[in-house]
Structure 1
Amino acid sequence: MNSITKSLLKSIKHGQAAWLRSNSTHSRKQCLPKLVLGIETSCDDTGAAVVDDAGNILGEALHCQKEVHLKTGGIIPLVAQQLHRENIEQIVKEALSISGVSVNELAAIAATVKPGLALSLGVGLEYSLKLVNKYKKPFIPIHHMEAHALTIRLTNQVEFPFLVLLLSGGHCILAVAQGVSDFLLLGQSIDIAPGDMLDKVARRLSLSKHPECHSMAGGKAIEHLAQTGNRQQYKFRVPMQHYRNCHFSFSGLQNLVNKVIIQKEKEEGLQKGELLPCVKDIAAAAQHAVAVHIVKRTYRAMLFCIKHSILSPKNATLVVSGGVASNQYIRKALQILADVNGFAFLCPPPRLCTDNGVMIAWNGIERLRAGLGVLHCTDGIRYEANAPLGIDISKRVEEDSIKVPRLKMKI
């Protein structure tokens, strides 16, 4: 073999090795999981998490403001804003530290931009955009309610479409999730949300003074006391029974409960703010009325979706998410409804039902996969305190005027 041939073979071998190294590096890059940092500040919880495109939660952190707001009897937006400002940097750093991921390794940064408390949303958006601009990362603006709706796809194998009921302190929504960023709105609360109503009833009953509930949020205190209360002692009229739509209303129910509280205070000779002996029974009756109202509207939504072939009766699923979805009494009532109608019934685990960074990061992954709403330029991006979810077809539901059969609920 002459020197020219040897030189040529050597050159070919070097070229093959370089090609293999190059291809190996390219292959590794392709196999690397996509990572998204999610930041949540829509209300009173500061959350952050890193999630990959396989659904692994690599790191998360959460600062809850509950104790502060319990002392003031409700969320004060300026206080919530200040607490977000004080904690957001540390929470994000903690989530990243636990995950072992640097900002440079992220595929994108996602943050809640709507809906929620304006002052709270502003803190999260401002901090997120600082990171985006510093590290030159794509930004994914997140709709808070969409994130709640799609959290179930992180924890369970759920295919579109599915019926989703979102229950929280600020929202009550029935919708069909047809895809990422593709929702049909069937109904929503026309006044206050169920979580807000239960919190207000708890405040009116002064449950923060109750020895069993002093450290509990209002809705949690109602649920706790209701477990040993007799709901049969009081009958609260279920709202909107003559309206054949999927909208909700809780303010009228709250007024009915308040009237009973005032009447019992007079009978017992107690002043407002003093604990009634019958608080457990009132809590049980109020919680039951909320559950029945929610079940009836959801029942109509199920019937509407099956009638119009929006969902298949063979593999229909009801997903319930949001903070109030953690209420076990309401959850059991909805489980009964799902069983009667042949729907699969799914809820995220309780810690993912309340506001958190994980759901924001996961929604970011979903949008990244679908190529929806991934921004490489953030000029003009704003937060929105109020924002609808999907296409509103609630009038079509009302026009159908579907009568809901009577349902026996033994809980």
Structure 2
Amino acid sequence: MRVLGIESSCDETAVAIVDDGRRRLADLVLSQLTEHRPFGGVVPEIAARSHLGQLDRLIARALAQAGMKPHELDAIAATAGPGLIGGVLVGVTMGKAMALALDRPFLAINHLEGHALSARLDPGVAFPYLLLLVSGGHCQLLRVEGVGRYRRLGTTVDDAAGEAFDKGAKILGLGYPGGPAIEQAAARAKAAGIDPDAYGLPRPMLGRPGCDFSFSGLKTALRQRAQERAADGALPERDGLALALQESIAAVLADRTAHALEAAAAATPRLTALVAAGGVAANQRIRQALERVARAHDLPLVAPPSRLCTDNAAMIAWAGIERLEAGLTDSAHGDGLDFAARPRWPLDPTAPRAAGAGVKA
């Protein structure tokens, strides 16, 4: 079974072809960093126009890389939400057109499900597992019980961890994208022996009951500390603040994940792993913090390769394969040419909305 996946929910145009033997026959990602860098963040209209201008060529390249003709595909899968609706519409429309022309199934994939199942593509973890999904727009803890079966244990009440990284980098003048810039600056500060605790950044919700997150106050505190030290302008100060920000985020993510593992401990069957997915999961300091949490609960930490943590189409194609194999392909499960793209699409529709504004589910 060979499925072509399309990902266009934010600022990467991605196409991949994956087979049911977990082989990535083609895996292409076209970044839009150059277009968005002058604005310090993603501009939705620019993103959608870029997807529209590049997607057909990227599909042709993927087919050539896989050595395949279009009629050799078994299905077409496309991210149908959540995300920037303009970009999602571009990918969904292209996917539907291909499926219709080739007389193949069209699979509308939840972008979050792509991340949730990416650990089963490489290296291949078994159900059930606890997932920390942490990216620029999403910060959730979910018990992944099977394909299409997700129970949310915690989410952000305001901003996601990835947004804190991006906005933090902007505050500190470290450039875009913020996550890698903060990680690099933090590494310089650590090598220089700077103490991150000296900056007094808060660690929101650390130690509180439950599994929810909050990062808005951390961004505000970072801005205040940066303004206090603006007169100095020394590079070590900027790098030190980046280190302090990273340490705060890592500590909060580890703490809330530990609470979720404790909450899930009584459920059966027993968890097989702690999985970290999403762009922020590529941060090595955060992986170290989560590794300690996993060991404390006698579980392995499974984190997909960095390429599968950030937005990509291989995870979308793989989610399509998983849904095909599970028989989740009829309209009742959200598939078919009549599926409407969605800016919001929770993995666990039964979970209550978090007590705060701006929750991205």
**Hey, what does 1:240 align to over in structure 2?**
205
Shift of residue 241 of structure 1? 3.6
Is 1:141 aligned to residue 101 of structure 2? Answer: no
Point out where structure 2 has 5 or more consecutive residues left out of the alignment: 354-361
Point out where structure 1 has 5 or more consecutive residues left out of the alignment: 1-33, 209-215, 396-411
**Hey, what does 1:282 align to over in structure 2?**
241
Is 1:157 aligned to residue 113 of structure 2? Answer: no
The equivalences for 1:1-400 within 5 A come to: 34-208=1-175, 217-229=177-189, 230=194, 231-241=196-206, 243-265=208-230, 267-268=231-232, 277-306=236-265, 308-310=266-268, 312=270, 316-374=272-330, 378-392=336-350
Shift of residue 205 of structure 1? 1.0
State TM-score, norm by structure 2.
0.92
AA aligned opposite 2:320: G
Q: RMSD over aligned Cα, in angstroms?
A: 1.8
**Hey, what does 1:404 align to over in structure 2?**
none
Q: Relative to structure 1, is the Cα distance of residues 361 and 256 closer, same or farther in structure 2, using a 3 angstrom cutoff? A: same
State TM-score, norm by structure 1.
0.81
Distance 1:294 1:391 in 2: 23
Distance 1:279 1:189 in 2: 27
Task: Indicate if the aligned counterparts of 2:106 and 2:337 stay in contact, CA closer than 8 A.
Answer: no
AA aligned opposite 1:232: D
Task: Indicate if the aligned counterparts of 2:107 and 2:335 stay in contact, CA closer than 8 A.
Answer: no
Task: Indicate if the aligned counterparts of 1:111 and 1:141 stay in contact, CA closer than 8 A.
Answer: yes
Distance 2:90 2:352 in 1: 33
Distance 1:394 1:343 in 2: 28
Distance 2:269 2:169 in 1: 38
Offset from partner CA, 1:12-58 (integer Å, 9 cap, x none): xxxxxxxxxxxxxxxxxxxxxx1100000010101111111111111
Distance 1:152 1:241 in 2: 27
Shift of residue 240 of structure 1? 1.8
Distance 1:377 1:115 in 2: 15
**Hey, what does 1:213 align to over in structure 2?**
none
Aligned length: 346
Distance 1:373 1:351 in 2: 27
Shift of residue 149 of structure 1? 1.0
Task: Indicate if the aligned counterparts of 2:140 and 2:155 stay in contact, CA closer than 8 A.
Answer: yes
Distance 1:53 1:379 in 2: 23
Offset from partner CA, 1:110-136 (integer Å, 9 cap, x none): 000011111110110111111111111
AA aligned opposite 1:378: G
Task: Indicate if the aligned counterparts of 2:4 and 2:77 stay in contact, CA closer than 8 A.
Answer: yes
Give the % identical residues: 38
Shift of residue 309 of structure 1? 2.1
Shift of residue 316 of structure 1? 3.2
Structure with greater contact order relative to length (CA < 8 Å, sep ≥ 6): 2
Task: Indicate if the aligned counterparts of 1:53 and 1:365 stay in contact, CA closer than 8 A.
Answer: yes
Shift of residue 100 of structure 1? 1.3
AA aligned opposite 1:235: G
Distance 2:349 2:88 in 1: 23
**Hey, what does 1:25 align to over in structure 2?**
none
Greater CA drift, 113-122 or 129-138: 129-138
Instruction: Return the index of the structure with the highest Cα Rg.
Output: 1
Secondary structure of residue in 2 paired with 1:62: strand
Task: Indicate if the aligned counterparts of 1:186 and 1:394 stay in contact, CA closer than 8 A.
Answer: no
Task: Indicate if the aligned counterparts of 1:109 and 1:128 stay in contact, CA closer than 8 A.
Answer: yes
